Amino acid sequence: MSGYDECAELSYIVLRPAECCTVFEITPVMFFNRGEFIPVATVTDRAQARTPDAVTERIDDSTIALTFAVPGGANKPPVLTTVTYSWDESAGEVIAAEPEPEATQIVGGDANGYWCPTPESNDRYGCVTIALPTATYDSGDTRELTDRGDLNGDGGTAYIAPGAPFGTFYPAGTPITLPDYYAGSDLPDQDRIWNGQTAIMLVRQ
C-alpha cells in the first residue's frame, strides 16, 4: 500500500501489504517529507489494517490518518485503531497522535508479578516485572499500563501500553484460542499474558 507523493510534506509507503499474510502481520510504515525518507519516523511494531472497515485518509498535505489492526479475541473481528501522523515543519519531525484510551480505573489484579516469554514467542523484550500500573523489563525499559477490562468477553483483562497493546491477562483455568501464526500451544493450567499482535505469550515465573 502506498501513499507516496514526492511533492507532499508528508507521504508514506506500507511494506509487505500482500493479502497472503494475516491481518496481524507486522507491516512497517515508512514516511517521507517531500520525497525524502525519514528513518526515525518508521513504524515497526504495528499491523496495517486490511479489512473493509479500514480507512486510510489524507487529511491535508502534511497530515495522514492510518488504520492499524489489533486482534479482537477468539472468533471476534480485529479492533481497528486510527493514528494521525503530521509533519511538524518547525521541529523537522513526524508527530503521531492517537485517541486516548477511555479512562478506566487501574486495578491491582493478578497480573502483578514476574513474567517471561515462552520459547515459541516472537519475543524482542525478554522478561518483565509488573507492579500495576508499571511494567518494567529486565533491560530497564518501562511501560505504563492502562486496564481496559474484558474487551473480548473471553475472561481476559486487556492492558494497553502507550502506542500499542501490551497484552491480555488470562488466569489459570481460562483457555485461549490461539491463532495459527503462533508456533506454541495454550498453557491453560498457568497464568498467561497474550499479545496477539506480536505473537508473544508471557507466563508467570
Chunked mean pLDDT (size 10), the chain, 205 residues = 84 72 71 94 80 73 86 60 91 84 47 94 90 93 87 84 87 90 92 92 95
Q: Return the C-alpha cell found at 84.
A: 494521525
Q: What is the pLDDT of residue 114?
A: 95
In the chain the beta strands, taken as DSSP E runs, fall at: 2-3, 11-14, 29-33, 36-37, 57-60, 63-70, 79-88, 93-97, 113-117, 128-131, 134-137, 142-144, 146-149, 157-161, 164-170, 192-195, 200-204
What pLDDT, on a 0 to 100 scale, did the predictor assign at position 19?
56
Q: Domain locations in the chain?
A: 2-97, 113-204
The answer to whether the CB of 12 falls within 8 A of the CB of 85 is yes
pTM given for the model = 0.52
pLDDT for the residue numbered 100:
56
For position 162, what pLDDT does the model report?
81
- Tell me if 15 sits within 8 A of 21, measured CB to CB: no
| Total Cβ atoms within 10 A of residue 187 | 15
Residue 148, pLDDT score: 82
Please state the φ and ψ torsions of residue 97, each to the nearest 5 degrees.
-140, 130
Cα separation, 101 vs 109, whole angstroms: 19
